[in-house]
Amino acid sequence: MKQFTYVITDPVGIHARPAGLLVRTAKAYESEILFEKDGKSAGATKLMALMGLGVRCGDTVTVTVTGSDEEKASAGIEQFLKDNL
């Protein structure tokens, strides 16, 4: 299991466009990727669940990656967040 935290810097937070790109990116990996904020969690491949977390600019999310390619998936998702959110 790999885990890291990330502070969202996008002025609008996790909204439709980046959430859709995030889902597409997450589906490229075999590992399960979970986002957690304030005790609520959502799978990174579930668009509506991700948006339902209500992540805003300045919020900290915890990302947990578990599976056969967790090293690669964790690095890929972290880079995605830095580039897009």
- Residue 20, CA distances (Å) to 1, 39, 44 in order: 24, 22, 10
Q: What is the dihedral of CA 28, 85, 52, 54, to 10 degrees?
A: 160
Look at residue 38 and give its three-state secondary structure.
Answer: coil
Q: Is 15 a catalytic residue?
A: yes
User: Active-site residue among 4, 6, 10, 15?
Assistant: 15
- Residue 77, CB half-sphere, CA atoms under 13 Å: how many? 34
Annotated catalytic residues are 15
